[in-house]
Structure 1
Amino acid sequence: MAIDWTEMQRTARSEFDARLPRITDWSAPTPDTEWTVADLVRHMVDEQRWVAPILEGRTLADAEATLEPIRDDLAAEWHRYAEKATAAWEATPLDANVHLSYGTVTCLEYLKQQVGDIAVHTWDLARAVGGGDRLNPGLVDAVWSELELQRDMLASSGLFAPPVPIADDAPVQDRLIALTGRDPRQP
């Protein structure tokens, strides 16, 4: 069965939306050891604010020229830019090409990357704010189906910490999280 990646984007966004109200300490650590909760949410806002200009066909330099600075209310900024990103994904043909930092790819490839980023960082946020770290199973399966195929590239990319060894029969979400350098068995 084909994955509806636009629907997965909405699902991933909803998962992140559900964790934002749980933030009580913006300086709390996250499983991504280099980031606090505020750093993580700022990253998510930043990623979402690029989507609309990139999907409009702009180069990175042209897109950057259109970006407004991120305001202090990170939760509000997430909602603002995530809404714009969702609208842009829904309006853009997924076979169109976009220009990213490493080259030209289809919108579908960019969308898959965005969905994976939101899903993994939703888990990070859930762990940082306590509880609720089980993600939508359909979302997890979709992201796993993409990232598992990229295991070697991910390990050498520097985008994530090295994969955490985990049993082959562990739940899919645990294998996904471990693949991205996080230990799902740690509280």
Structure 2
Amino acid sequence: MDELLSLHRVNAERFSRLVHRVGPPDADAWQRPTPCTGWTVRDLVNHLTSEQLWAPELLAGRTVAEVGDRFDGDVLGADPVAAWDAAVAASLAAFAEPGALGRTVDLSRGPTAAHDYLDEMLTDLAVHGWDLARGLGVEDDIDPATVDRLLVEWSGRTDELAPGSAFAGPLDVADDADQQTRLLALFGRRA
């Protein structure tokens, strides 16, 4: 579990560094496209910020129904960087609480082990971190330990990654493709 928390923190910090590179709220970079079809940089950061806002609520035992639509729509407001910083800090703190990963959280699909929920959060931070880096035109390497973990985690679960899931369906890759290229292909991305 310590490894999972550590990788989550590494990827949250990477995503944070990228968010800080976007610039002030009126910077043109917020409107750049990303590899996520139809999503700008702002849309992508908004999605991840919303996810971070959910974590403390769910880990505190609240249900999806109790949280309701509080985190729907634009959660970035006038200062997207500050909104991200506050949301990710609260999420990291909630997952790091003693016993948090032994809990069960109420997701839209039903009760889920908190450590499985954290794996999903890690996946989103890593893959969408790559998307954000691509949208910004900066270094897009994913932490190698994260790549290794996620390849093990998701390689046998490609049915969950079919078109219509949260990510695009898996793509074929060359036999000699590197690990990051393989991981990205699982999530419908070409490195």
For residue 95 of structure 2, what is the amino acid of its counterpart?
A: W
Whether the 8 Å contact between 1:168 and 1:175 is mirrored in structure 2 is no
Instruction: Identify if the C-alpha distance between structure 1 residues 21 and 67 changes in structure 2 by more than 3 Å, giving closer, same or farther.
Output: closer
- What's the counterpart of residue 58 of structure 1? 62
Q: 5 Å matches for 1:1-150?
A: 4-23=3-22, 24=27, 25-64=29-68, 70=75, 71-91=77-97, 92-150=99-157
Please give the secondary structure, in 2, of the residue aligned with 1:105: strand
Q: In the aligned structure 2, how far is the partner of 1:118 from the partner of 1:124?
A: 10
User: CA deviation digits over 1:121-168, x for unaligned, max 9?
Assistant: 000000010121011111121222212121122125522222221123
CA distance in 2: counterparts of 1:61 and 1:74, whole angstroms: 26
Shift of the 3–144 alpha-carbon distance from structure 1 to 2, 3 Å rule, reads farther
RMSD: 1.9
5+ residue gaps, structure 2: none
Higher mean C-alpha displacement, 21-30 vs 31-40: 21-30
Q: TM-score, normalised by structure 2?
A: 0.88
Q: Does 1:166 align with 2:169?
A: no
Count of aligned pairs between the two proteins: 183
Deviant stretches of 4+, over 4 Å: 65-69
SS of the residue corresponding to residue 104 of structure 1 reads: strand
- Letter of the aligned partner of 1:34 in structure 2? G
Q: Which deviates more, 90-99 or 156-165? A: 156-165
TM-score by length of 1: 0.90
Cα distance in 1 for residues equivalent to 2:40 and 2:32: 5
Structure 2 counterpart SS, 1:135: coil
- Counterpart of 2:92 in 1: which secondary structure? helix
- 1:182 positional shift: 1.1
Partners of 1:31 and 1:76 lie apart in 2 by 24
CA distance in 2 between partners of 1:150 and 1:72 (Å):
39
| In 2, Cα distance between equivalents of 1:65 and 1:128 | 28
Amino acid at match of 1:33: T
Structure 1: which 5+ runs fail to align?
A: none
Per mean C-alpha deviation after superposition, the further-off stretch among 8-17 and 69-78 is 69-78
Q: Distance in 2 between matches of 1:56 and 1:157?
A: 30
% identical aligned pairs:
37
